[in-house]
């Protein structure tokens, strides 16, 4: 399973990278959300999968899955949400103010002379 | 017996999901995709339930209800977007 | 046959029926010709499928583990409540966003209604009606 | 064309109660079963979001006249306060205390400062989500 | 009080929260922000003294023992950096009173600023690798807010790039933690160090090296090392002056600090490979920064590229990894934080007066603004490492360490970088502060004397830091000692 | 802190008060407040003569950064004292002169005197400190005070140019010197000159010895304007004339000479030292004198003359060092050279100082320094003319002035090279002689083109007249010194010269007896030759001037300097602009490429890749199907053009991810992921109202590039994940949480307990992050609305 997940994560990273390299701001933001999915899955995978019952005491199981990566992922998910929300707003604000969502047109080299 | 049936059911649902995914990607219209997404959500709920049985734990039963709620909210948001372009109106009586 | 075996059979039946409906729903979404019919398949068949499976799950925990889980029941209730609303909203949204119908179904009644609403006479009628309503309000005060 | 969302609104009124109840449950149960401040808070904001979808900003604002940014700050204060309480006892920051208190009528009452902390989380999450949605939704 | 070391994090945090409530009155906000910044300075100074007297301070948060809970660790390095951060923040706050504009003040500028300090101080203090990530996020999120605040065109445009790069680096950070966790199964930095050192008996697995490289990339993105600094010049150019100053002074340094910390604790045994890599990258960073600094005629750009040079310098010292060079790096790190903030404030002040940051349309400022001119001159010399100003001792030690470790070319480049830094920064002095006096459009509007207070404070500090190097030296060498002898750190955390 | 330290610091202290004098006491020229200081110091230093002439050295130490071996140790010995006297003595005269030269009404006297005092203190520090780092500190300070003084009239383009040039070149040397100092430290473990000298024998074979030597020499050469670094000195003449007289002739430029003299005991054992110093000195001597002749600006002539004279002193020191290097030869032959060097050092200060002052007077009274405009001033300013004659003749090496004496000794020194077994040795005296010829010529030009010839009043800005007496005092004193030293050359020898010489060449005994007449020998003949040829060439100047045209301008060093600065600026601009395109996509492409390459290289280079199927969880068929869904959906996003479709697909991925969380037994994650996903989708939909309908597409080439990079990233991540998972070297610490969740933390949901208790600190800041995000979104959207244009950056 971990091996499969490694490949899934790889594919998620791949498409996230591709999206982040594209021109459109919307795609870039989508890329970051997909990136965070990949990251979270990877973190979970690295903790070891299916190591036992869900980490709830009283599951009368002999072993539990590692709860620590789950807690870390939870933190990471919430942070990623905050960042995505902000990024989204920045994206649309900048589209309104600058009039384009094309990153190629957003070069701007102030002070480069 | 139950376990076998659950695994069969899981595969059925997964196949159904892939089929729905085809609709999501193919379209051809936006409502098609959203309909498929909605159905996908329902399938996921089913899957969670089946996984609960398969793992023999009630830890995920909350997820079912929660997902029911969220799939609904999502569908409402999408349909409002389709219909009006803006999902939250400032003042609909004006 | 013991009670528990019967219960197991019922559970299995529910799950299998549910899975079957899911497949049917998926088939419908793939095969049906336009968004309205697909919506129909998705919201009816899939909902039925998930209800069956949820019921099976509930029974599983109730019988096998002797655990009465209210959340699943609530979930069933919830699904029951929301699925039609969601289907309705989607259909309406599709219609208003201008998705064409398949063409081999019956007459488009809703279109007629909208056209009536858009017509001049209806507008006049609306204005008139509003005026009278306001008058009544003013008088009652 | 203006459409009425009667069906949606009616359903929402019905469902809303359910969601809020569930979110409160999930919040309090968090220490024992899946859930907690995050999910609870997010779900509550989901409920408000549904309200916003079905109705409109103005209506919702009259029903829930909160300044969500203040709510965020309040939640943070809760969380920090729970942690800083430990400073008074010269124990490390964020040390939690718990215990069972016997209340005559209600019986055993399980108290845990972690719940207070989680309440802070809950408030922040609701405040943040709602203030984001409100600010974006209110932007013309 | 065992919770002492958390105060530099807690005070700005509480202040930030209170400031959200206080958004109605600007005066109230200023008072709160100023007082709390001052308090943080005092507390941080006391903390430094405490670490000096009692050794490494640790705090097991929530009262869980070391590898299981989160541990805050204040060794001398982190305490010093916290102190410097607080000082720089204080100066920038003072500058902000007159220099940021009431609009921004109304919209939670001070709150975001305080959160930024929380993030930076937290990152310096934490002893847990995931907690470091969280503090990075606090810092980054506040920096996003600060870079955006005001929403001008350039701010929006550059912030997209800035956010994107940092999102990627955060993602890489988390996956690095994931890999590390997979290998060592723990998050406490001291504990990781112990576990990794247990490995050295067996053949050192290559996986540790690759995780080390990954961490280098992550922190390199934050700290702007050679091929990863492209985002920096544009992003730092966008925000208003005090924000630019605090960014320039602090943010990259957090990355550098993290490199120091992780390399001294985790990857010291991989020195061979990673050290070579780091040295090469450090040199390339210096060269790249210098090329940029010389290229432009924009005052902000010049100073921004000098950040990169400084990062390269410090990294070179770290990579050299001997006591001298490390001491020098720490010396230089603190110097650079102070002087960069001062320079940004000064350059910003010049740009504010002139109404443009283009050097070609400045000139003769010394005639009307002698204070500005001389402060800038001193700051420029300090930046270039002219004795007895603050940059000198650090540079001396880095070069000395470099020569001693027989990295002759690297050390020579470090030495000669001073010349080019000087050329680039003196370009501002010669063309902007000297030159034919002109009339500037914004002259009347800029409260010049009040804005000058903050940079003057910083420059005076910098001069004292350089001249009083003997007084500072015991602190710095204690910091460097913890880096070379990691057992001090580990024992303090794990209490073995 | 002793009185000696105070003496060095005193100028700095006074410098602090100068602005106040200037501001509050307007009636009196600020110079008068400054003047007592150098005089006092001069007197103070004279009091040391008695002790140094008894071979005593006075050492006072004051700890500065003692932890690094940097102490402010002051050491007064012969050499140091000589320079200290020079600095304070000439300093007094220059201050006096400046009082009349700079008008108190129009000039910014406060800054001028601050700079001058800074310089004076720094220079004292250079020559008196025993610690190399302290020396270096003062050394740089002299560079910067010189920079400030050259740029005194900062609104003039040329001043700024000259200031920058001098700064760049001297700092370059300074840094090299610092490098040398550090190398010395690594060899000896000390920064103290005295201790380094004590260890000099031990380190000569150290591999770092030669680099250290070269570095130190580079410092000395740049400061003392040796060829090819001399180019800064002529441009430094943009400084006010008193400054030129002080810094750029008498003191600062001699710091390099001081350094060479000071370090001779350390390095002179090495042949390289001897040859480099002598060689560069000679080249400089020749080139400076040769170039001086073609100048038309009086100060430029003097500048090149200074260059040339510095070369002369340098070469003498080099030849003198041979005494230390060659054990087999009679040291007495070479010690003459050193003696000449030191003697000429003093003489040069006197005559060059007076000449600069004269030029200053001419400039001041006529408004020009161009010899093509000047002429016939003899009648208007006779005293000035007299001083000029004295100075110039001394410079030309004519009797009976002191220049003649040192010139003779110089020839002696150069001839002594012939004693060495060196094939081309004869060239050295020949070059020296030719240079002397040119020296003669420019000295004559200086005097006669200015003071004799045709008076051209129409070309002058002012009507010339004799300078005020105050302005004349200093040059008169200097000129009289020229004569006094000429007639009584030995008055300084035992008291000042010998102690200095013994410091330069410890272990040699000096018996300095300079006599005016020592018979008809080679030296005298050479001098006569110089005069004869010089006179002829002077009168035929216009005929052979064309020689200078032969040197292509392109090869000129100045051109080289300008071009390289220009090239540096343009090149770096080109480079930086080429890669700093402002396009984040390019940046990301670079970064990702770097990341992929470095990670892949490490992965395979360090043999880090591992793959094991142990320890992996079992896999179910439906999980494969789910993975397939994620894969298909995430790839489908790349090809979709509609933003709604992509958001639907992203939502799908999110939902499947949460399903994975369910399968992997992470209920909390599944819950959170679901809600977050839904709310994010709503946010996207909310924002889409404000965003463009279509997604911008890339051209194909970019797509290919991006595809390659993305596949690389994905592959690297996967490979590392596989290796990391196959390398589970330790157990996780989470067993502790599993055991203690209920007993210690009173909770059952481990994840939640970790979140609020074990790692509650994380959570606290995580919600802080959320709060900040909300704050940012709020401000971002609202600020614009209310603020309008005001927020635009100042």
Residues of chain D contacting B52 with CB distance shorter than 8 Å = none
Element (H, E) at F325: helix F298-325
Closest CA to E391 of E333, E437, E344, E440: E333
Backbone dihedral angles phi then psi of residue A64, each to the nearest 5 degrees? -120, 155
Residue of C nearest to D5 (CA): C89
How high is the pLDDT of residue F554?
A: 59
Positive/negative CA dihedral, B44, A46, E274, E124: positive
In a domain, D53, yes or no: yes
Residues of chain A contacting F708 with CB distance shorter than 8 Å = none
How high is the pLDDT of residue A113?
A: 61
Tens of pLDDT along F629-644? 999 999 998 888 888 8
pLDDT at residue B27 above 80? no
Per-residue b or e along B14-43, where b marks 16 or more CB atoms closer than 10 Å to that residue's CB: bbbbebbbebbbebebbbbbbbbbbbbbbb
In a domain, D1, yes or no: no
How high is the pLDDT of residue A34?
A: 93
What does the longest C-alpha to C-alpha distance in chain B come to?
A: 61
Tokens representing E14 are 């509480």
Residues of chain B contacting F629 with CB distance shorter than 8 Å = 14, 17-18, 21
Residue range E185-209: average pLDDT? 80
Residue range F351-380: average pLDDT? 86
With CB atoms and an 8 Å threshold, state whether A28 touches E164.
Answer: yes
How high is the pLDDT of residue F753?
A: 87
Residues of chain B contacting F659 with CB distance shorter than 8 Å = 44, 47-48, 51
Asked if residue F630 lies in contact with residue A8, where contact means CB atoms within 8 angstroms, the answer is yes
pLDDT: which is higher, F493 or F768: F768
Q: How far is CA D133 from CA A85, B60, F686, in A?
A: 9, 29, 8
pLDDT at residue F55 above 90? no
- F87: CB partners within 8 A, 6+ apart: F120, F123, F124, F127, F251
DSSP E270: G
- Rg (C-alpha) for chain D, rounded Å, is 18
Which of D4, D16, D18 to mutate against chain C (most C CBs within 10 Å)? D18
Chain F residues 448-507 within an 8 A CB cutoff of chain A: none
Under the banding of pLDDT at 50, 70 and 90, the label for residue F791 is: very low
What is the rounded average pLDDT for all residues in chain C?
83
pLDDT at residue F788 above 60? no
In a domain, D16, yes or no: yes
Please state, in angstroms and rounded to a whole number, the distance separating the CA atoms of residues F439 and F305. 7
Q: How far is CA F412 from CA F338, F339, F346, F441, F549, in A?
A: 11, 11, 18, 22, 34
Least CB-CB distance to E156: which of A45, A79, A97?
A97
How high is the pLDDT of residue F368?
A: 83
Tens of pLDDT along A60-82? 677 888 889 999 999 999 999 99
How many inter-chain contacts (B to C, CB under 8 Å) are there?
Answer: 172
Asked if residue F535 lies in contact with residue F115, where contact means CB atoms within 8 angstroms, the answer is no
What is the rounded average pLDDT for all residues in chain F?
86
Element (H, E) at F76: strand F70-76
With CB atoms and an 8 Å threshold, state whether D94 touches E17.
Answer: no
Residue range F602-628: average pLDDT? 83
In a domain, F317, yes or no: yes
Residue range E275-294: average pLDDT? 91
Under the banding of pLDDT at 50, 70 and 90, the label for residue F792 is: very low
Residue range E340-357: average pLDDT? 90
Residues of chain D contacting E3 with CB distance shorter than 8 Å = 86-87, 90, 92-93
With CB atoms and an 8 Å threshold, state whether A20 touches E137.
Answer: no
pLDDT at residue F523 above 60? yes
Tens of pLDDT along F86-134? 999 999 999 999 888 888 788 888 888 999 999 999 999 999 999 999 9
Question: In 3-state terms, chain A is what percent helix, strand and coil (to 5)?
Answer: 70, 5, 25
In a domain, F525, yes or no: no
With CB atoms and an 8 Å threshold, state whether A90 touches E156.
Answer: yes
pLDDT at residue D132 above 80? yes
**C-beta atoms surrounding F572 within 10 Å:** 21
- D77: closest CA of chain E, how far (Å): 7
- Out of D45-59, F170-184, F318-332, F574-588, the most confident range is F170-184
How high is the pLDDT of residue E69?
A: 86
Under the banding of pLDDT at 50, 70 and 90, the label for residue D17 is: confident
3-state secondary structure of D98: strand
How high is the pLDDT of residue C7?
A: 85
**C-beta atoms surrounding F691 within 10 Å:** 19
How many domains does the structure of chain D reveal?
1
Least CB-CB distance to D94: which of E2, E17, E61?
E61
Q: How far is CA B5 from CA B57, B63, D51, F36, in A?
A: 17, 22, 40, 108
Tens of pLDDT along E378-407? 999 999 888 888 889 999 999 999 999 888
pLDDT at residue E99 above 80? yes
With CB atoms and an 8 Å threshold, state whether A76 touches E141.
Answer: no
Please state, in angstroms and rounded to a whole number, the distance separating the CA atoms of residues D52 and D57. 6
Residues of chain E contacting A112 with CB distance shorter than 8 Å = 296, 298, 301
Tens of pLDDT along C4-21? 888 888 888 998 998 888
Residue A53 β-bridge partners: A64
Query: Within 13 Å of residue E252, how many CA atoms lie on the same side as its CB?
Result: 36
Asked if residue E85 lies in contact with residue E337, where contact means CB atoms within 8 angstroms, the answer is yes
Asked if residue F327 lies in contact with residue F271, where contact means CB atoms within 8 angstroms, the answer is no
Cis peptide before E388 (omega within 30 of 0): yes
Residue range F293-317: average pLDDT? 89
With CB atoms and an 8 Å threshold, state whether A59 touches B60.
Answer: no
How high is the pLDDT of residue E344?
A: 94
How high is the pLDDT of residue E9?
A: 92
With CB atoms and an 8 Å threshold, state whether B65 touches C97.
Answer: no
How high is the pLDDT of residue D30?
A: 79
- Out of B66-70, E43-47, E363-367, F294-298, the most confident range is E43-47
With CB atoms and an 8 Å threshold, state whether E358 touches A113.
Answer: yes
Tens of pLDDT along C65-113? 888 888 888 888 888 888 888 888 888 888 887 777 777 666 777 777 7
3-state secondary structure of E358: strand
In a domain, F558, yes or no: no
Tens of pLDDT along E141-186? 999 999 988 888 888 888 888 999 999 999 999 999 999 998 888 9
Residue range E70-77: average pLDDT? 91
Residue range F286-306: average pLDDT? 88
How high is the pLDDT of residue F794?
A: 39
Please state, in angstroms and rounded to a whole number, the distance separating the CA atoms of residues D54 and E334. 56
DSSP C43: I
| Domain map (residue ranges) of chain C | 3-106, 107-141
3-state secondary structure of D108: strand
How high is the pLDDT of residue F790?
A: 44
How high is the pLDDT of residue A50?
A: 78
CB-based contact, E470 to chain F, within 8 Å:
yes
pLDDT: which is higher, E315 or F506: E315
Please state, in angstroms and rounded to a whole number, the distance separating the CA atoms of residues D3 and E393. 75
With CB atoms and an 8 Å threshold, state whether D92 touches E20.
Answer: no
What does the longest C-alpha to C-alpha distance in chain D come to?
A: 65
Please state, in angstroms and rounded to a whole number, the distance separating the CA atoms of residues F384 and F382. 5
pLDDT at residue F787 above 80? no
Where residue F716 sits, what CATH number does that domain have?
A: 1.20.120
What does the longest C-alpha to C-alpha distance in chain A come to?
A: 70
Please state, in angstroms and rounded to a whole number, the distance separating the CA atoms of residues F419 and F416. 5
Positive/negative CA dihedral, F586, F592, F595, F596: negative
Under the banding of pLDDT at 50, 70 and 90, the label for residue F205 is: confident
Residue range A8-23: average pLDDT? 92
Residue range F261-265: average pLDDT? 88
In a domain, F191, yes or no: yes
Least CB-CB distance to D33: which of A56, A74, A82?
A56
Enclosing domain of residue D78: 6-138
Least CB-CB distance to E210: which of F171, F599, F757?
F599
Please state, in angstroms and rounded to a whole number, the distance separating the CA atoms of residues C44 and C55. 16
| Domain map (residue ranges) of chain A | 2-49+68-99
CB-based contact, F698 to chain A, within 8 Å:
yes
DSSP C100: P
In a domain, F566, yes or no: no
Element (H, E) at D101: strand D98-103
Q: How far is CA F547 from CA F94, F534, F543, F556, in A?
A: 37, 16, 9, 14
Closest CA to E179 of F355, F723, F482, F153: F723
Rounded (5°) CA angle E393-E395-E396:
60
Chain B residues 63-92 within an 8 A CB cutoff of chain D: 63, 65-66, 69-70, 72-73, 76-77, 80, 83, 87-92
Chain D residues 54-83 within an 8 A CB cutoff of chain E: 69-70, 72-73, 76-77, 80
How many domains does the structure of chain F reveal?
4
Number of H helices, E strands in chain D: 5, 2
In terms of Cβ atoms closer than 10 Å to its own Cβ (0-12, 13-18, 19+), residue F326 is middle
CB-based contact, D84 to chain E, within 8 Å:
yes
Please state, in angstroms and rounded to a whole number, the distance separating the CA atoms of residues F643 and F685. 10
Enclosing domain of residue F376: 269-509
Q: F464, F489, F509 — which closes off a domain?
A: F509
* Low-confidence winner among B49-58, E98-107, F473-482, F605-614 (lowest mean pLDDT): F605-614
Positive/negative CA dihedral, E243, E247, E249, E254: positive
pLDDT at residue E255 above 80? yes
């Amino acid at each position: 399973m971990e091996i499969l997940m490694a490949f899934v994560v790889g594919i998620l990273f791949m498409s996230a990278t591709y999206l982040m390299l594209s021109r459109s701001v919307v795609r870039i933001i989508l890329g970051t959300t997909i990136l965070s999915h990949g990251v979270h899955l990877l973190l979970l995978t690295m903790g070891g999968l299916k190591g036992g019952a869900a980490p709830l005491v009283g599951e009368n199981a002999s072993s539990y899955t590692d709860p620590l990566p789950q807690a870390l992922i939870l933190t990471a998910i919430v942070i990623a949400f905050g960042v995505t929300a902000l990024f989204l707003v920045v994206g649309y604000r900048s589209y309104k103010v600058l009039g384009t969502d094309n990153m190629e047109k957003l070069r701007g080299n102030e002070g480069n002379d | 017996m139950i376990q076998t049936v659950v695994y069969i059911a899981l595969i059925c649902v997964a196949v159904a999901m892939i089929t729905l995914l085809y609709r999501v990607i193919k379209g051809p219209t936006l409502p098609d995709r959203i309909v498929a997404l909605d159905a996908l959500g329902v399938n996921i709920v089913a899957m969670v339930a089946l996984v609960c049985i398969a793992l023999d734990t009630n830890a995920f039963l909350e997820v079912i209800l929660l997902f029911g709620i969220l799939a609904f909210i999502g569908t409402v948001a999408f349909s409002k977007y389709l219909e009006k372009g803006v999902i939250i109106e400032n003042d609909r009586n004006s | 046959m013991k009670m528990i075996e019967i219960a197991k059979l019922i559970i299995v039946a529910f799950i299998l029926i549910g899975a079957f409906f899911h497949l049917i729903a998926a088939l419908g979404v793939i095969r049906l010709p336009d968004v309205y019919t697909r919506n129909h398949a998705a919201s009816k068949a899939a909902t039925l499928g998930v209800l069956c499976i949820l019921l099976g799950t509930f029974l599983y925990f109730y019988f096998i583990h002797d655990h009465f889980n209210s959340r699943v029941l609530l979930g069933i209730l919830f699904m029951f409540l929301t699925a039609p609303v969601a289907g309705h909203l989607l259909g309406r949204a599709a219609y208003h966003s201008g998705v064409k119908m398949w063409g081999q179904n019956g007459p488009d009644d809703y279109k007629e209604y909208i056209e009536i609403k858009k017509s001049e006479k209806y507008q006049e009628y609306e204005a008139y009606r509003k005026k009278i309503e306001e008058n009544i309000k003013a008088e009652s005060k | 064309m203006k459409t009425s969302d009667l069906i949606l609104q009616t359903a929402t009124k019905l469902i809303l109660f359910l969601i809020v109840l569930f979110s409160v449950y999930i919040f309090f149960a968090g220490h024992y079963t899946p859930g907690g401040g995050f999910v609870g808070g997010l779900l509550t904001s989901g409920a408000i979001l549904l309200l916003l979808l079905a109705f409109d900003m103005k209506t919702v604002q009259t029903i829930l006249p909160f300044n969500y940014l203040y709510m965020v700050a309040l939640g943070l204060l809760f969380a920090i306060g729970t942690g800083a309480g430990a400073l008074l006892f010269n124990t490390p920051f964020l040390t939690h205390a718990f215990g069972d208190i016997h209340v005559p009528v209600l019986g055993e009452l399980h108290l845990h400062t972690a719940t207070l902390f989680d309440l802070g989380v809950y408030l922040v999450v609701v405040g943040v989500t709602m203030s984001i949605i409100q600010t974006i939704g209110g932007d013309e | 009080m065992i919770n002492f070391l958390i105060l530099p994090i807690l005070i700005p945090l509480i202040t930030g929260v209170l400031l959200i409530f206080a958004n109605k009155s600007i005066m109230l906000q200023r008072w709160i922000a100023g007082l709390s910044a001052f308090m943080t300075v005092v507390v941080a100074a006391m903390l430094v003294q405490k670490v000096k007297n009692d050794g490494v301070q640790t705090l097991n948060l929530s009262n869980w023992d070391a590898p299981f809970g989160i541990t805050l660790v204040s060794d001398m390095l982190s305490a010093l950096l916290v102190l410097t951060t607080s000082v720089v923040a204080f100066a920038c706050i003072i500058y902000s009173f007159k220099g940021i504009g009431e609009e921004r003040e109304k919209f939670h500028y001070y709150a975001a600023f305080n959160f930024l300090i929380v993030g930076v101080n937290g990152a310096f203090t934490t002893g847990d690798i995931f907690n470091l990530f969280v503090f990075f996020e606090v810092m980054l999120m506040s920096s996003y807010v600060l870079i955006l605040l005001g929403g001008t065109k350039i701010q929006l445009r550059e912030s997209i790039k800035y956010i994107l790069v940092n999102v990627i680096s955060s993602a890489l950070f988390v996956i690095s933690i994931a890999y590390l966790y997979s290998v060592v199964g723990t998050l406490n930095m001291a504990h990781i160090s112990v576990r990794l050192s247990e490995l050295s008996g067996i053949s050192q697995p290559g996986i540790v090296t690759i995780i080390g490289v990954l961490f280098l990339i992550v922190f390199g993105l934050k700290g702007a090392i050679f091929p990863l600094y492209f985002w920096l010049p544009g992003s730092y150019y966008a925000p208003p002056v005090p924000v630019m100053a605090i960014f320039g002074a602090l943010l990259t340094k957090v990355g550098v600090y993290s490199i120091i910390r992780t390399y001294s604790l985790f990857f010291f045994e991989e020195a061979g490979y990673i050290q070579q890599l780091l040295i090469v990258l450090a040199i390339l960073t210096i060269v790249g920064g210098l090329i940029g600094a010389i290229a432009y005629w924009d005052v902000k750009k010049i100073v921004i590229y000098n950040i990169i040079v400084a990062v390269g310098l410090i990294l070179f010292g770290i990579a050299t990894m001997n006591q001298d060079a490390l001491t020098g790096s720490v010396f230089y790190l603190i110097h650079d934080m102070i002087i960069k903030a001062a320079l940004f404030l000064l350059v910003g002040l010049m740009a504010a007066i002139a109404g443009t940051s283009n050097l070609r349309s400045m000139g003769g400022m010394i005639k009307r603004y002698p204070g500005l001119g001389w402060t800038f001159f001193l700051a420029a010399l300090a930046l270039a490492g002219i004795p007895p100003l603050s940059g000198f001792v650090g540079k001396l030690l880095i070069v000395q360490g470099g020569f001693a470790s027989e990295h002759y070319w690297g050390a020579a480049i470090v030495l000669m970088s001073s010349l080019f830094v000087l050329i680039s920064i003196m370009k501002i002095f010669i063309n902007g502060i000297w030159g034919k006096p002109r009339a500037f459009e914004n002259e009347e509007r800029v409260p010049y004397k009040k804005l000058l207070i903050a940079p003057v404070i910083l420059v005076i500090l910098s001069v004292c830091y350089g001249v009083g190097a003997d007084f500072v030296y015991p602190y710095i060498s204690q910091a460097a000692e913890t880096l070379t002898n990691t057992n001090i750190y580990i024992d303090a955390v794990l209490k073995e | 802190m002793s009185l000696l330290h105070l003496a060095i610091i005193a100028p700095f202290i006074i410098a602090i008060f100068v602005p106040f004098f200037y501001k509050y006491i307007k009636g009196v020229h600020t110079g008068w407040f400054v003047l007592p200081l150098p005089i006092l110091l001069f007197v103070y230093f004279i009091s040391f003569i008695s002790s140094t002439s008894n071979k005593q050295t006075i050492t006072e130490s004051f700890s500065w950064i003692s932890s690094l071996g940097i102490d402010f140790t002051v050491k007064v010995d012969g050499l140091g004292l000589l320079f200290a006297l020079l600095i304070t003595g000439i300093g007094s005269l220059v201050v006096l002169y400046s009082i009349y030269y700079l008008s108190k009404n129009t000039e910014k006297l406060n800054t001028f005197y601050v700079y001058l005092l800074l310089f004076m203190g720094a220079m004292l520090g250079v020559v008196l400190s025993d610690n190399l780092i302290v020396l270096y500190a003062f050394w740089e300070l002299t560079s910067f005070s010189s920079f400030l003084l050259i740029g005194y009239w900062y609104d003039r383009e040329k001043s700024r140019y000259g200031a920058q040039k001098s700064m760049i070149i001297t700092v370059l040397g300074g840094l090299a010197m610092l490098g040398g100092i550090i190398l010395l430290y690594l060899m000896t473990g000390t920064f103290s000159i005295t201790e380094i000298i004590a260890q000099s024998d031990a380190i000569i074979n150290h591999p770092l010895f030669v680099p250290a030597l070269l570095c130190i020499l580079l410092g000395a050469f740049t400061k003392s304007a040796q060829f090819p670094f001399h180019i800064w000195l002529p441009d430094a003449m943009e400084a006010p004339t008193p400054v030129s007289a002080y810094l750029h002739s008498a003191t600062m430029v001699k710091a390099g000479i001081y350094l060479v003299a000071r370090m001779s005991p350390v390095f002179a054992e090495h042949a390289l030292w001897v040859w480099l110093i002598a060689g560069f000195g000679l080249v400089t001597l020749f080139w400076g004198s040769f170039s001086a002749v073609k100048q038309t600006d009086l100060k430029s002539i003097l500048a090149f003359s200074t260059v040339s004279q510095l070369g002369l002193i340098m070469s003498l020191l080099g030849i003198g060092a041979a005494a230390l290097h060659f054990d087999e030869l009679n040291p007495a032959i070479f010690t003459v050279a050193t003696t000449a060097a030191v003697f000429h050092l003093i003489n040069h200060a006197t005559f060059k100082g007076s000449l600069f002052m004269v030029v200053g007077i001419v400039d001041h009274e006529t408004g020009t320094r161009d010899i093509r405009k000047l002429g016939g001033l003899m009648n208007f300013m006779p005293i000035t003319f007299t001083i000029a004659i004295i100075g110039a003749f001394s410079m030309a090496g004519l009797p009976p002035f002191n220049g003649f004496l040192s010139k003779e000794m110089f020839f002696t020194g150069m001839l002594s090279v012939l004693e060495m077994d060196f094939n081309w040795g004869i060239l050295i005296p020949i070059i020296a002689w030719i240079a002397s010829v040119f020296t003669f010529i420019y000295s004559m030009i200086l005097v006669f083109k200015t003071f004799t010839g045709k008076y051209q009043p129409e070309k002058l800005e002012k009507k010339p007249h004799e300078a005020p007496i105050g302005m004349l005092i200093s040059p008169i004193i200097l000129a009289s010194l020229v004569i006094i030293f000429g007639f009584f050359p030995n008055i300084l020898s035992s008291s000042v010269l010998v102690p200095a010489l013994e410091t330069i060449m410890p272990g040699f005994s000096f018996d300095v007896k300079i006599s005016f007449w020592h018979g008809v020998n080679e030296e005298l003949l050479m001098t006569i030759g110089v005069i004869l040829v010089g006179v002829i060439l002077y009168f035929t100047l216009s005929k052979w001037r064309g020689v200078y045209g032969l040197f292509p301008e392109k090869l000129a060093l100045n051109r080289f300097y300008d071009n390289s600065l220009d090239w540096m600026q343009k090149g770096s601009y080109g480079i930086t602009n080429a890669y700093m395109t402002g396009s984040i996509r390019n940046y990301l492409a670079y970064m990702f490429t770097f990341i992929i390459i470095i990670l892949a290289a490490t992965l395979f280079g360090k043999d880090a890749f591992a793959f094991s199927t142990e320890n992996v969880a079992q896999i179910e068929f439906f999980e494969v199907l789910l993975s397939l869904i994620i894969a298909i959906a995430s790839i489908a996003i790349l090809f979709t053009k509609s933003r709604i479709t992509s958001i639907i697909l992203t939502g799908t991925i999110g939902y499947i991810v949460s399903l994975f969380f369910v399968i992997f037994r992470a209920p909390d994650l599944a819950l959170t992921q679901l809600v977050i996903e839904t709310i994010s989708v709503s946010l996207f939909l909310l924002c889409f109202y404000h965003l463009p309908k279509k997604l911008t597409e890339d051209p194909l080439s970019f797509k290919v590039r991006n595809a390659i990079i993305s596949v690389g990233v994905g592959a690297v991540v996967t490979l590392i994940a596989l290796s990391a998972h196959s390398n589970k070297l330790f157990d996780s610490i989470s067993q502790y949480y599993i055991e203690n969740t209920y007993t210690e933390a009173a909770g059952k949901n481990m994840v939640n307990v970790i979140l609020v208790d074990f790692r509650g600190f994380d959570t606290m800041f995580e919600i802080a992050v959320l709060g900040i995000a909300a704050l940012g979104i709020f401000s971002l959207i609202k600020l614009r609305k209310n603020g309008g244009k005001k927020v635009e950056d100042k």
